[in-house]
Chains A and B, each alone.
Chain A
Amino acid sequence: MAIPLDELVNITLLTVAVTVGATALGSLLGVPLGLVLVLERFPGRGAIRTIVYALYAFPPIVAGVLLYLLLRREGPLGNLGLLFTPVAILLGETLLTTPLIAGLTVSAVAELPPEVIEIVDSGGPSLPQRAIALLREARFGVTAAVLVGYGRSLAEVAAALILGGNIRGETRTLGTAILLEVNQGDFEFALALSALILVQALFMAFLLRRLQRAERAFAHRIDTSHRRPKRPTSKRTGAEG
């Protein structure tokens, strides 16, 4: 075995921590940003939306280089000493997941029927109440956005390599470890590490499937509920469509 078991566990745990952390941070930033972009009107909104959409295709290597310039010792944030730490990788992944989650949140909320947004607004909710009500309505789309963000973070290598440095025992993730093994010609072990990433990807796919099934079950309940016996009939007139 090219990597001892305890080191393998550490690499896997670091990968999970960075991926989950970046998804959480990206959601904390991206979901509110998406809500603001779709629900509020202000000068420059269109331009910001365009930038967010453009960042869907933000090359991880570019994100890595930009953050590297900020975090390196001579950079404006150099005194924080974050370069080549897991935090630097986390920041890099967050930079990549945030626009994706924000943009997909915009899409999810924009698809809500206008009468739903109108009835929420006409009820006089506070800003958080309005956001929660509309997020609840768009929950399937927003959850899918978060899971897609998780996927992007999981699959990312370039920024993790530049910002983390692939330091053994400190900043080595599954992605950067695979790259190292390939460079050393150990394809068998690289494949084994890839399988660990695939397990996480499968877990994400499983969650997405569960989400779709929940949505279908909800729609099915709506379609068939008029046939369920528990529904009251005494108040019905039979004259309605």
Chain B
Amino acid sequence: MADLRVDRACNPPEFALAQVGVALEGRPLLQGVDLALPRGSFVVVLGPTGAGKTTILRLLLGLQQPSAGKALVDGGEWSTLNRAGRAHVRQQIGYVQQHVGLLKAPVLYNVTLPLRWRGVSREVADRRGKTAMASVGLSGYEQEPALSLSGGERQRLAMARACAIEPDVLFLDEFTNHQDPAHEDLLEALAHGFHGQGGTIVVVSHRLDQVRRMATRGGDAVEIAIVVDGRVYVCTWPVLQRLATEEAGPGPFLRRLALASESEVAFASMPTS
């Protein structure tokens, strides 16, 4: 397995959400969200479907403006950056979408286009693209139409695209949803390897078993941001287990999630509220 390399002079920008609120068509989705991503941080965003997890990633990427509060990158608001400034930050970020956007082109073109945008020569881009594809088990698919790939292959293409740019930051949105256990383990190992080299990483998931694996694998200091009812509760895995016993906050959600998850999850036998 090839390593997911970060840029040699790895210096990820710092991201933060300060008292952020988001309303969609008048309906409040997020309220008073505070979330800090210092350099080299590892955050897993957990929450039920539709809670606003993807919206948090979009806010961090500057693809969406908050209705209230501030979305910050390196201390400045995204909204104050000009086009070049936004491009500069985003060129350090590898992004795997929940619904993977693919260009009507061969797989290798999809993987290498962001590299070409950075002025990398075609030869070098192709070489890095093929290495990234190999790291996610997509060797041999280079000239296949990207749109012909299965759901799991599309996610791995997205991971290869994110890896190929040798990013400083990875935003992974439900990045193993369509994977078999072997490929899920492969992608999670890539994510941990990336963090081990100093990169900042945010993983969005709605599965407790995955959150547990991500939070307890190796020696990574992983924070968990639980998104429930528009609020975000930041904790670590041990604290999350304690939160699951409480009546207020994310407790009821965590207990429902534990009951629906594998029995090996430590607090699966907690009573429901």
Q: Spell out A's residues near B (CB within 8 Å).
A: 113, 115-127, 129, 133, 136-137, 218, 221-223, 225-226, 231-232, 234-235, 237, 239-241
Contact = CB atoms under 8 A, between A and B. Distances in A.
Most A-side CB within 10 Å, residue of B87, B91, B137: B87
B69 to A, nearest CB: 21
A117 B103 CA distance: 10
B101 A126 contact: no
Contacts of A239: 152, 180
B117 A123 contact: yes
Nearest to B84: A126
A222 B145 contact: yes
A221 B146 CA distance: 11
| A-B residue pairs, 9 tightest by C-beta | A232-B140, A124-B90, A119-B101, A239-B180, A115-B101, A124-B87, A124-B91, A240-B152, A123-B114
Task: Determine chain A's interface SS by DSSP, over half rule.
Answer: helix
A133 B109 CA distance: 11
Contacts of B101: 113, 115-120
29 contacts: A115-B97, A115-B99, A115-B101, A116-B101, A118-B58, A118-B97, A122-B90, A122-B93, A122-B95, A123-B113, A124-B86, A124-B91, A124-B93, A126-B87, A136-B105, A137-B103, A222-B145, A222-B148, A223-B148, A231-B140, A235-B138, A237-B180, A239-B152, A239-B180, A240-B151, A240-B152, A240-B153, A241-B151, A241-B152
B182 interface: yes
B88 interface: yes
B152 A119 contact: no
B202 to A, nearest CB: 13
Contact of B103 (A136, A222, A232): A136
Nearest to A232: B140
A132 to B, nearest CB: 10
Nearest to A228: B144
A117 to B, nearest CB: 7
Contacts of A225: 144-145, 148
Contacts of B151: 240-241
B150 interface: yes
Nearest to A215: B104
Contacts of A137: 103-104
Contacts of A133: 103, 113
Given A119-B97, A129-B117, A218-B104, 17 more contacts: A113-B101, A115-B100, A118-B58, A119-B158, A121-B63, A122-B61, A122-B63, A123-B114, A124-B86, A125-B87, A126-B87, A133-B103, A136-B103, A136-B104, A225-B145, A240-B178, A241-B178
B207 interface: no
A184 B61 CA distance: 69
Interface in B164-198: 165, 178-180, 182-183
Contact of B150 (A116, A122, A232, A241): A241
